[in-house]
Structure 1
Amino acid sequence: MSLEPSLDYSSLANNIKAWGKSLGFQQVGITDVDVSQHHQAFLDWLEKGYHGQMSFFERNIEKRLHPEQLVENTLRVISVRMNYLPEDAHFASNLEQSDSAYISRYALGRDYHKLMRKRLKQLGEKILSHCDTLEFRPFVDSAPVLEHAFAEKAGIGWTGKHSLTINKDAGSWFFLGELFVNIPLPTDEPIEEGCGTCAACISICPTQAIIEPYKIDANRCISYLTIEHQGAIPEEFREPMGNRIYGCDDCQLICPYNRQAPTTQEQDFSPRAALKNLSLIDAFNWTSDMFLKATEGTAIRRIGIERWRRNVSVAMGNAPYSNEIIACLKAALEQEHSPVLKEHYQWALRQQEQKGASMPGDAIPIIDISRQQARLIRSIKKGLPRDA
């Protein structure tokens, strides 16, 4: 244990929270490294294959379960949250516009990983200037860390039934980060779980990926399918995807705690112009260079142009009947060499042609959205005035 006899760790902890807020974190909590209460649930989830193709969960399991093995001499974890919902957020309205691309809110602005890691490093350096024996290491989705478990123990919020951290005042529109330290700071207390009997997130999930409270089957999750999953998207999940081409926010949009969620002051999280009100046809027609330019500095870039087109083609298949979409898909199919993309283009074409065949000759296509999606939109309009 690293001790400085003359140091008042209680005062230091209070200062750390103040310094964290001055760096742009809305909340800072401190916990020990014991997350044993989450061990069995994580191991069971892994054993059942609910992590899909995310093989990184299979590596460094002991370090994930025992943080002191990840960073030697770690005694405490400083958990932080940073809000990312901007004041001009109108992203949810895209769910009503079936010919527009829906992108998860967190990905519309700058990639949060580097921003938060830099701030956490600055926090560590500030602590070091007051504590010579400090050793620290920041993490933001960059290592085997049970971030939600730490946030829960540090009093940031509780783990909701959709497995995300919820704060009663801030909802869940925030990012989490951690600073591992080797000093015995006083710890914070967890807060009371607030979901109660509410199961809105479970019932609204388009693919029923929340198989039971607090347990997600990633293989069914639209966020996983559009971001992490490589290869063909299983057909059973394509129609439920609707126009969601990168991620899915449904379980957060329906959550009562998000109805009055606070906005962020971080301008970097404001939606990029190229990603706002993006039509499916425009998104599909991006060249590799256009994709790289439009997604520069965002989390979207990591999926690459092939997965991007795969996802957009599914949304095009789900869109209202359109001669332009059909022509676009046919032209792309003639030039495409990827078996995966060809298969998705063909599926989307069949979906469009079936819609066309069922329409009277002079009929105007009707936008058809799922009952869950319609319910979600009604809830947004009632409870989320920023996105109405």
Structure 2
Amino acid sequence: MTTSISEPDHDLIRSEALGLGFDICRFTDIDETWPAAARLEAFVAAGRHGEMEWMADTAERRKHPRAMWSGARSAIVLGVNYGPDHDPLLVLGQPNLAAISVYAQGDDYHEVIKARLKALARWLVARFGGELKVFVDTAPLLEKPLAERAGLGWQGKHTNLVSREFGSWLFLGSILTTLELSPDAVDPTTCGSCRACLDVCPTGAFPEPYQLDARRCISYLTIELKGPIPVEFREALGNRIYGCDDCLAVCPWNKFASMARDQKLAAREVLKAPTLVDLVRLDDAAFRGLFAKNPVKRIGRERFVRNVLYAIGNSGDATLATEAQQLLDDPAPVVRGAAVWALSRLAPEVFADLRTSRLATERDAHVRAEWAQN
């Protein structure tokens, strides 16, 4: 049995959500067709999901919110502003420093937002009854199309949500519920003729507006891809070692966005622009310590140091060649391979002197290829 919620009750829910730390709260029904399903199907069929097999495996459940939960009748979609207090693109001009995506400079937003969603959920059930489920990015629910239906903003040409109030800087969370909630109006705004986000992409990851090829996206390459990053993209990485903010940061709507005030999600000073030297020297324990309660921790020390070594190779600073050389014997092949590439870029003479002896002892095929092809 479903329960209808009145408009004044909507205001109560919004007030409770804002009090828990959300910056926006809107409602939508989930009765209509779901155009996002066709876009997802085309995305997977084209192989643009790369190694993210979970997207293909869960595609059926992603086709509609009710495919996730047949009892759902409405959705409450919430956002938390994470607008930075600095220009995240400035660090790209300082090749000895590391660029970490804004969303990963503070505590893991999944944990912070999930705790708030659960608190709101408990309040909702106590006040109105019904059943519900909460989601924060990790379940097979297409939250950006859901947020668009609820009127939080619109999906921009970079495929991310754009908001009049918060620009491209919104974390999303959702609650599916058996409650009947009248929907908020959809925001009719569009990106118009603007293509700033498409043109700034370092790897050309947008084959067309509103379409992303994850296999070319620096966020995918530095976070999701487990093996060596393809050679064709390494220079374009620059000093981006975890994610990429370029398409978000150039969005003109950001000029209307206020800086985030959420202390639980505030950037840690040590992660705003750390040095490549400090990061490449991290062992596993130091890596886990530095990124405790932080999303970077999930990719592990090996993939992270791989990224740092590519950035070192792009730095143009020959004094960093010794950092790469010291990791030629790292236990992880993905680290060794990246160290070889960085060394070949910064100290070609040293690389040439070592090539023959290293090829004679190296057993990993990918690392051997790095020695052979450079």
| Same-fold call, TM cutoff 0.5 | yes
Q: Is residue 196 of structure 2 the alignment partner of residue 183 of structure 1?
A: no
- Equivalent residue runs for 1:183-332 within 5 Å: 183-323=179-319, 325-332=320-327
Deviation, structure 1 residue 263: 1.5
SS of alignment partner, residue 207 of structure 2: strand
Under a length normalisation based on structure 1, what TM-score does the superposition of the two structures give?
A: 0.87
- Equivalent residue runs for 1:66-105 within 5 Å: 66-87=64-85, 89=86, 91-105=88-102
SS of alignment partner, residue 213 of structure 1: coil
- Report the identity percentage: 36
SS of alignment partner, residue 216 of structure 1: coil
Deviation, structure 1 residue 332: 1.4
Does the Cα contact within 8 Å between 2:239 and 2:315 map onto a contact in 1? yes
What are the Cα deviations for residues 101-125 of structure 1, in whole angstroms up to 9, with x where unaligned?
1000000000001111111111112
Does the Cα contact within 8 Å between 2:106 and 2:294 map onto a contact in 1? yes
CA RMSD of aligned residues (A): 1.8
Q: Find the partner of 1:127 among 114, 124, 129.
A: 124
Residue 193 of structure 1 aligns with an amino acid whose one-letter code is T
Deviation, structure 1 residue 355: 11
Deviation, structure 1 residue 344: 1.3
Distance 1:39 1:253 in 2: 28
Deviation, structure 1 residue 9: 2.3
Residues 56/170 of structure 1: CA separation in 2 closer, same or farther (3 Å cut): same
Does the Cα contact within 8 Å between 1:321 and 1:355 map onto a contact in 2? no
Residues 293/75 of structure 1: CA separation in 2 closer, same or farther (3 Å cut): same
Residues 210/355 of structure 1: CA separation in 2 closer, same or farther (3 Å cut): farther
Distance 1:241 1:311 in 2: 9
Distance 2:27 2:349 in 1: 55
Does the Cα contact within 8 Å between 1:19 and 1:123 map onto a contact in 2? yes
Q: Find the partner of 1:351 among 345, 348, 353.
A: 345
Match of 1:139 in 2: 135
Deviation, structure 1 residue 211: 1.2
Q: Find the partner of 1:114 among 111, 116, 119.
A: 111
Residue 196 of structure 1 aligns with an amino acid whose one-letter code is G
What are the Cα deviations for residues 38-89 of structure 1, in whole angstroms up to 9, with x where unaligned?
22111011100111111111123222112223224100111111001244x3
Does the Cα contact within 8 Å between 1:85 and 1:264 map onto a contact in 2? yes
Distance 1:53 1:262 in 2: 36
Distance 1:340 1:300 in 2: 17
Deviation, structure 1 residue 10: 2.1
SS of alignment partner, residue 56 of structure 1: helix
Under a length normalisation based on structure 2, what TM-score does the superposition of the two structures give?
A: 0.90
Deviation, structure 1 residue 338: 2.7
Does the Cα contact within 8 Å between 1:94 and 1:277 map onto a contact in 2? yes
Q: Is residue 6 of structure 2 the alignment partner of residue 12 of structure 1?
A: no
Deviation, structure 1 residue 8: 4.8
Residues 179/355 of structure 1: CA separation in 2 closer, same or farther (3 Å cut): farther
Residues 32/8 of structure 1: CA separation in 2 closer, same or farther (3 Å cut): closer
Does the Cα contact within 8 Å between 2:303 and 2:334 map onto a contact in 1? no
What are the Cα deviations for residues 208-233 of structure 1, in whole angstroms up to 9, with x where unaligned?
00111010000000000000111010
Distance 2:47 2:177 in 1: 33
Residue 339 of structure 1 aligns with an amino acid whose one-letter code is P
Distance 2:10 2:349 in 1: 61
Q: Find the partner of 1:61 among 59, 62, 71.
A: 59
Distance 2:349 2:309 in 1: 16
Residues 189/279 of structure 1: CA separation in 2 closer, same or farther (3 Å cut): same
Structure 1: runs of 5 or more not aligned: 358-388
Deviation, structure 1 residue 295: 0.1
